[in-house]
A and B are shown apart, each in its own frame.
Chain A
Amino acid sequence: MRLRRIEAEAFGALSARTLGDLGDGLTVVLGPNEAGKSSFTALTRYVLYGFPTAREKEPQYTPAAGRRAGRLLFEEGDGRWVIERTEGPHGGSVTVRTVAGATRPGLLGEITAGVSALAYKIVFGFGLDEMSAIEAQRGSGDDIIAKLYAASVGLRTSPQDVRARLEKEAEEFFAPRGRSKRVNELLAELRDIRAEIRTVRDEGAAFSEDRERLSALDERLSAAQEMRAAKRAAHAVLASAVSSYEERIAQLEERERELTELRRQLKSAEDALERDVPDARLLASAPEIDALVGDASAFNQNLAALREAASEVAAAERALDTALAETGLSREHVLALDAGPELLVAVEEARDDLRRLEADRDARAREAERLSAIAAKAEAALPAAFESLGIAPGPDADRALDAIASELDAVESAESGGARSRVDVPAIFILIAGIASLVAGLILGETVAAVIGAISVIAGAFFVARALFMSRRQTIVPVPVGADTFRVRRALDAARSAWRVAADARSAADAASSDAALATDTYTTRQALFAKRMAETGFPAGTTPAAAAQMISRARDARRASGDVQAKREALAALQARVDAFSARVGAVAESVLGVSAAVEPDAVSGLVGRLRDALADARDTGIRHTQHDDAVRDLATRIKAAEERHARSNDEARAILLERGLEEGGSLGVLREHLALAEAESRDADAIYDEVAAERSRLQGTLDTLGAEDRGAQLRLSESSARERLADAVDRYLVTATAARLVGKAQERYERERQPEVVKRAEEIFRTLTGDRYVGLSVPLGSNRLEVFDERSAAKTSTELSRGTAEALYLALRLGLVSQLEDVGPGLPLLMDDVLVNLDPERRRGAAVAVADLARERQVVLFTCHPDTAELFGQIAPDRTEITLDRC
């Protein structure tokens, strides 16, 4: 891996400047001051490790405009990659871009592997300022030589670092000359636990003694308990006595107050007893008054009924008068009239018969009139019918027709017909009906029916007889013969038909007239019978059935009204009697109780009864109060007596208490309380003694119980074991870590002693060459903070004792020696040196150039110089070097 170009995008005075192409081995960059040599050196470091922030003590190389940015072009085989960084947070963003070949995103890490930024600055990219820094870093926390040396031997960390860290880790557990927290903490914890274990053991060891102490305490406790009980009992007895005495005194005071109050109440009750005396008369009349009050309601009803009955009587009388007036008869006549149901039935039957007979009469008359008209019409048609036959209608016309017919028959058939029987059927019917009606009337005693029956029999017999007579008077008339026979026959038939019609019509008309006459007679007969009955009954003549019926009805109404009037009058009298009787009762009581007049108007009765009721109620209330006062007086007298007895008893008891305590003389509550206070103090003392002993016993018992049950000892032993295990672990880890540190240290000693590092050997060779063998030895003790050189006489000098040029030669030798051994460390890093040979004398400068040229065969070297002679020197020593000339910026 070779760095081929350094490109400054914006970096200090450099802007869009490129340095390259750099050679594979040595490249000498010749440029005057301010050509950018230091800038390119710094840019290379910053691109690789990041731009410093303003707070870091590093040259900033701030560009005139924009952010710092630069890139490095690396090359390996056919591959080319650009590492580019632009100023930003955390050193700026860096990208790896592949120009050719495979992508290598981890290229930056590969190139700088094992080389920190500081190491790079001191060893790989340095100028005169950094020359002495390689020693200044020694012995610090960032021992560059040690690190680079470690890298050179294949270790990723320095033995020095490893040892220091192991020692530090060991000191976390224990420091021989310091105070280690871990072990001391564990030892302190163990001490505490073991002290507690000892305490527990001591407690256990004292168990037997404690049990004996417990027995002794039990005895003391028992005695103290008895003493406490005795004192408590004495105190209790005295306290009870004091309490009883106080109670008695209080009772006496209460009794006295009670007696005073009771006596006051007695006086008050006696006054009230005298004041509230009830009216004896009222109370004596109480049953009667209660009865009056009870009956008052009925009285009021009676009074109201009386008044209503009076008005009803008046109304009934008016109704009677009206009814009598409607009959048109005198009161006596009406009242004497037999207007019973039979009369009314007879009147109604007569009315019905008369109506029916009147209707029948009128109907028959109308029928007779109609039939008569029909007969007249038929008879009027006869002349025309007879005219063609040459006969005139008359009584013999019938026979004339028969004669013509006979003649005609004879003409037509030479046979003539015989005489015919002419029986009048309706007449027979009338006859039979009349007989039936007559018989029924006679049987039933119905005169009208019998009369009608008789009339019907007569009429029927007449018509039957006439029919028989007429049939015997028929004659035969001559009938023309010849061509007109047929015409004659027809005329004959017509005449005969007309004749029969007329005869029939006349017959019917006659019968109807007969019936009408009969019906009229019947009606008249019935009317006469009715009139006779009315006259017998006492009705005025000419009274029609309807009038009779109406009169009967009104007479009956008048008679009912009369009865009603009578009944109401009787009821009125009864009510009046009850009202009067009650009024008299009330008047009598009121006179005796209230002293009012005994004559009481009915209307005043209610008010008087109310007064009596109220007066009685007042008397009763007074009586109740009187009784209560009386009871109260008796009760109070009893209670006063009992209170006086209790008072005396309490007084005796209080005296007995004092006597019991021997204080019959001068005893008082105060003395008793003094005795009680004394007993209380003694009881308290006994309690205190008991409590003390009991507490001690309880503590001891608790201790013994705890010892018998608790596992504190076991827990402590476990804690001890735990702490000891942790201590053992800490000791183990200390021993392993400290031994490891010591192993590393011993190995370092051996290594330094037996195996001087190649890097130092190489540096020593270079230094020897640089100094022209004036200095032949170089020692870099890894565990020390010094560089030692040895001259040809093996005299040792430290770097501070050397001249500047010699010291710089020494530092350059060390760098070259180091870098020459770092085959795999920072494999892609070129060595950039900025005019580091300027302070060397020509001889040492040439030696240094040779060493640099030698190194450039193993690792890429870029040497910046502003001295043409230095460039020329390298041209002589390394003709294959690459030389680049820089102009001023």
Chain B
Amino acid sequence: MGRPVRFIHAADLHLDAPFGGIDAQDSRVRDALAASTYRALDALAAACIERGADFLVISGDVYNQAERRVRSQLAFAKAAATLEHAGIPVFVVHGNHDPASGWSAGIAMPHNVHVFADDRVERVAYERDGEAVCALYGRSYRRAAETANLASGFKREIGDVVAIGVLHTNVGGRPGYDDYAPCTLDDLRAAGMDYWALGHIHKPEVLSQSPYAVYSGCPQGLDPTQSGPRGCYEVVIDDGTVETTFLPLAAIEWRYAEVDLSRASRLDDVRDAIAESVDAALADATTPVIVRLDLTGRCDVHTPLQTAGALAAIVDDARDEALGLERWAWIDRVRDRTRPSIDLEALRSAEDFTGDVIRLADDLLEDSAQGHAFVDEVAATLLDRVGDPGLVPDAPDILARARDLALDRLLDGDTR
């Protein structure tokens, strides 16, 4: 074997995928988000060229077919054309978001793009200077809800110098993700591949090093839960030795932080604490960031925070400052999870009205069914009107916060 096989492994580009769970009120942030998956794609193509990759492997979900965006397919074709110009082939499998039977804009892909078959495991030999230096095995989804174990169909052929498996799958039934093309690590091991280029799980992760089974993750985080670095892997296979290097590609990073306000006594302290959290998030990232914050702790500032518009004013101020930074930050959501600085235990033992309130809340929190029923009774009409199954109330959280709110009002004296 001559020089090592070097390729880029990416997956779950989700071009033009909808961003969820964000209230991007600023046009600059909205534009950046709308362009972020495309910028990640451009960065991916640039990385392939800069690293001198032999080829690019994409393990499914290049775009969200459900969105039926022409732009995403055009953009991918354009990026592939760039790679074709650089002599870099692109090997792609369809995933659950872009199955082979799904909608297509009918845009022809450049010749360097090879999409693996959806009815079988297809083997493609990658040749360099007329010599087959690598074999890629892959299978696309025919339909979105692919429930068959596709990994079981992979088998390395004798004579393959290097074998790479490309699959969009949920290995081990990872919760939080659709259990499509389910398989186990053993299934992967049984195939005899040198490297499994996996897709579907958006967080980058090396599942196994023997053989290498790697989720490259998505190049661009798509919602606040997808925080942390996002990108692709550069893989070098040299004489049976596999080396992986993570390459960050995200144009925007997501961050979450809890802001402890236990020592805050004034609203200015809240403002400062938010600014510090934003600074910390920016320091931890290399791109603009979208930050979600939860204000926590028992504190004196809890009561002023309940004043209508108080927190919103602080957040607006902090947003203005954060957006004005050279590398900007968008404070997406700041939830007030602070609690009044009251001694719950002392109140709980008091034989008075507040004690009754606390004990009533305790009863509801202890009896989950009763608590859920209590909250559901409050929420039923509203949720029925909203009709959004995603809006499932977290009864214990609501009960605890409702208790704190009631106590706050009862004890603080509502002068508003």
Interface residues of A (CB under 8 A from B): 150, 153-157, 159, 161-162, 165-166, 174, 176, 183, 187, 200-202, 204-205, 207-208, 211, 704, 707-711, 713-715, 717-718, 720-722, 724-729, 731-732, 734-744, 746-748, 750-751, 754-755
A718: contacting residue among B22, B333, B354, CB under 8 A: B22
- Provided the pairs A157-B409, A742-B378, A744-B357 are in contact, do residues A711 and B386 lie with their beta carbons within 8 angstroms? no
Which B residues touch A176, using CB under 8 A?
381-382
Instruction: Tell whether, in the assembled complex, residue A725 and residue B333 are in contact, meaning their CB atoms are under 8 Å apart.
Output: yes
Which A residues touch B109, using CB under 8 A?
none
Instruction: Tell whether, in the assembled complex, residue B386 and residue A183 are in contact, meaning their CB atoms are under 8 Å apart.
Output: yes
Instruction: Tell whether, in the assembled complex, residue A735 and residue B357 are in contact, meaning their CB atoms are under 8 Å apart.
Output: no
Docked complex Cα distance between A728 and B393 (Å)? 10
Which A residues touch B67, using CB under 8 A?
201, 204, 713, 717
B409: contacting residue among A201, A721, A724, A740, CB under 8 A: A740
Instruction: Tell me how far the C-beta of B98 lies from the nearest C-beta in chain A, rounded to whole angstroms.
Output: 13
The CB with the most chain B CB atoms within 10 A, among A153, A710, A735, A755, is that of A735
Which A residues touch B66, using CB under 8 A?
201
Docked complex Cα distance between A205 and B381 (Å)? 36
Which B residues touch A750, using CB under 8 A?
356, 360
Which A residues touch B374, using CB under 8 A?
739, 742
Residue B174, interface by CB 8 Å = no
Give a binary string over B7-34; 1 marks a CB under 8 Å from any A CB, 0 the rest.
Answer: 0000000001011111111000011011
The CB with the most chain B CB atoms within 10 A, among A202, A208, A718, is that of A718
Give a binary string over B379-416; 1 marks a CB under 8 Å from any A CB, 0 the rest.
Answer: 10111011010110100001101110110011111101
- Provided the pairs A176-B381, A737-B402, A747-B353 are in contact, do residues A708 and B71 lie with their beta carbons within 8 angstroms? yes
Docked complex Cα distance between A165 and B416 (Å)? 10
Which B residues touch A741, using CB under 8 A?
406
A721: contacting residue among B20, B69, B375, B381, CB under 8 A: B20
Which B residues touch A725, using CB under 8 A?
21-23, 333
Which A residues touch B21, using CB under 8 A?
721, 725
B71: contacting residue among A211, A711, A732, CB under 8 A: A711
Chain A binding surface SS class: helix
Instruction: Tell whether, in the assembled complex, residue B68 and residue A739 are in contact, meaning their CB atoms are under 8 Å apart.
Output: no
Q: Which residue of A lies closest to B25 (CB)?
A: A722
Which A residues touch B25, using CB under 8 A?
722
Residue B74, interface by CB 8 Å = yes
Which A residues touch B414, using CB under 8 A?
157, 161-162, 165
Which A residues touch B69, using CB under 8 A?
204, 707, 713-714
Instruction: Tell me how far the C-beta of B223 lies from the nearest C-beta in chain A, rounded to whole angstroms.
Output: 8
Q: Which residue of B lies closest to A723 (CB)?
A: B23
Top 6 nearest A-B pairs by Cβ distance? A156-B413, A204-B68, A717-B18, A739-B402, A714-B34, A740-B402
Which B residues touch A156, using CB under 8 A?
411-413
Which A residues touch B22, using CB under 8 A?
718, 721-722, 725
Residue B310, interface by CB 8 Å = no
Docked complex Cα distance between A166 and B306 (Å)? 12
Q: Could you name 22 residue pairs across A and B whose Cβ atoms are closer than 8 Å?
A: A155-B410, A155-B413, A162-B406, A176-B381, A207-B70, A208-B104, A707-B70, A709-B71, A710-B71, A711-B16, A714-B33, A720-B18, A721-B19, A724-B20, A725-B21, A725-B23, A727-B391, A731-B393, A737-B402, A739-B398, A742-B378, A744-B410
Instruction: Tell me how far the C-beta of B18 lies from the nearest C-beta in chain A, rounded to whole angstroms.
Output: 4
Since A717-B18, A722-B23, A742-B374 are in contact, a sample of 12 more A-B pairs with Cβ atoms closer than 8 Å, ordered by chain A residue number, is A156-B412, A156-B413, A157-B410, A204-B68, A207-B105, A711-B16, A713-B71, A725-B23, A732-B393, A739-B375, A739-B378, A746-B360
Q: Which residue of A lies closest to B333 (CB)?
A: A725
Instruction: Tell whether, in the assembled complex, residue A714 and residue B16 are in contact, meaning their CB atoms are under 8 Å apart.
Output: yes
Instruction: Tell whether, in the assembled complex, residue A159 and residue B353 are in contact, meaning their CB atoms are under 8 Å apart.
Output: yes
Docked complex Cα distance between A159 and B360 (Å)? 15
Which B residues touch A714, using CB under 8 A?
16, 18-19, 33-34, 69
Instruction: Tell me how far the C-beta of B33 lies from the nearest C-beta in chain A, rounded to whole angstroms.
Output: 6
Interface residue ranges of B48-77 to A (CB < 8 Å)? 66-71, 74
Instruction: Tell whether, in the assembled complex, residue B378 and residue A153 are in contact, meaning their CB atoms are under 8 Å apart.
Output: no
Q: How many A-B residue pairs have CB under 8 A?
A: 191
Which A residues touch B413, using CB under 8 A?
155-157
Q: Which residue of B lies closest to A782 (CB)?
A: B353
Instruction: Tell whether, in the assembled complex, residue B405 and residue A718 are in contact, meaning their CB atoms are under 8 Å apart.
Output: no
Instruction: Tell me how far the C-beta of A114 lies from the nearest C-beta in chain B, rounded to whole angstroms.
Output: 9
Residue B247, interface by CB 8 Å = no
The CB with the most chain A CB atoms within 10 A, among B25, B104, B333, B402, is that of B402
Instruction: Tell whether, in the assembled complex, residue A204 and residue B70 are in contact, meaning their CB atoms are under 8 Å apart.
Output: yes
Residue B144, interface by CB 8 Å = no
Instruction: Tell whether, in the assembled complex, residue A727 and residue B386 are in contact, meaning their CB atoms are under 8 Å apart.
Output: yes
Which B residues touch A743, using CB under 8 A?
357, 360-361, 399, 402-403, 406
Q: Which residue of B lies closest to A204 (CB)?
A: B68
Which B residues touch A150, using CB under 8 A?
353
Which A residues touch B31, using CB under 8 A?
711
Instruction: Tell whether, in the assembled complex, residue B399 and residue A724 are in contact, meaning their CB atoms are under 8 Å apart.
Output: no
Instruction: Tell whether, in the assembled complex, residue A707 and residue B34 are in contact, meaning their CB atoms are under 8 Å apart.
Output: no
Instruction: Tell me how far the C-beta of B412 lies from the nearest C-beta in chain A, rounded to whole angstroms.
Output: 7
Docked complex Cα distance between A159 and B411 (Å)? 10
Which A residues touch B402, using CB under 8 A?
735-737, 739-740, 742-743
Instruction: Tell me how far the C-beta of A748 lies from the nearest C-beta in chain B, rounded to whole angstroms.
Output: 8
Docked complex Cα distance between A197 and B178 (Å)? 24
Instruction: Tell whether, in the assembled complex, residue B378 and residue A738 are in contact, meaning their CB atoms are under 8 Å apart.
Output: yes
Which B residues touch A707, using CB under 8 A?
69-71
Instruction: Tell whether, in the assembled complex, residue B23 and residue A731 are in contact, meaning their CB atoms are under 8 Å apart.
Output: no
Instruction: Tell whether, in the assembled complex, residue A205 and residue B383 are in contact, meaning their CB atoms are under 8 Å apart.
Output: no
Which B residues touch A711, using CB under 8 A?
16, 31, 34-35, 71
Docked complex Cα distance between A736 and B379 (Å)? 10
Which B residues touch A207, using CB under 8 A?
68, 70, 105-106
B391: contacting residue among A153, A157, A731, CB under 8 A: A731
Instruction: Tell me how far the C-beta of A258 lies from the nearest C-beta in chain B, rounded to whole angstroms.
Output: 69
Instruction: Tell whether, in the assembled complex, residue A208 and residue B106 are in contact, meaning their CB atoms are under 8 Å apart.
Output: yes
Docked complex Cα distance between A732 and B402 (Å)? 10
The CB with the most chain A CB atoms within 10 A, among B377, B403, B416, is that of B403
Docked complex Cα distance between A738 and B398 (Å)? 10
Which B residues touch A734, using CB under 8 A?
382
Instruction: Tell whether, in the assembled complex, residue A183 and residue B385 are in contact, meaning their CB atoms are under 8 Å apart.
Output: yes
Docked complex Cα distance between A739 and B375 (Å)? 7
Which B residues touch A208, using CB under 8 A?
104-106
Q: Which residue of A lies closest to B105 (CB)?
A: A207
B398: contacting residue among A727, A735, A746, CB under 8 A: A735
Instruction: Tell me how far the C-beta of A407 lies from the nearest C-beta in chain B, rounded to whole angstroms.
Output: 163
Docked complex Cα distance between A104 and B2 (Å)? 95
Instruction: Tell whether, in the assembled complex, residue A153 and residue B386 are in contact, meaning their CB atoms are under 8 Å apart.
Output: no
Interface residue ranges of B128-155 to A (CB < 8 Å)? none
Instruction: Tell me how far the C-beta of A596 lies from the nearest C-beta in chain B, rounded to whole angstroms.
Output: 111
Which B residues touch A726, using CB under 8 A?
23
Instruction: Tell me how far the C-beta of A536 lies from the nearest C-beta in chain B, rounded to whole angstroms.
Output: 140
Instruction: Tell me how far the C-beta of A215 lies from the nearest C-beta in chain B, rounded to whole angstroms.
Output: 11
Residue B351, interface by CB 8 Å = yes
Which B residues touch A166, using CB under 8 A?
405-406, 409
Residue B177, interface by CB 8 Å = no
Docked complex Cα distance between A770 and B24 (Å)? 68
Q: Which residue of B lies closest to A734 (CB)?
A: B382
Which A residues touch B399, using CB under 8 A?
739, 743
Instruction: Tell whether, in the assembled complex, residue A735 and residue B356 are in contact, meaning their CB atoms are under 8 Å apart.
Output: no
Which A residues touch B106, using CB under 8 A?
207-208, 211
Instruction: Tell me how far the C-beta of B128 lies from the nearest C-beta in chain A, rounded to whole angstroms.
Output: 35
Which A residues touch B383, using CB under 8 A?
731
Instruction: Tell me how far the C-beta of A204 lies from the nearest C-beta in chain B, rounded to whole angstroms.
Output: 3
Instruction: Tell whether, in the assembled complex, residue A735 and residue B393 are in contact, meaning their CB atoms are under 8 Å apart.
Output: yes
B353: contacting residue among A153, A165, A724, CB under 8 A: A153
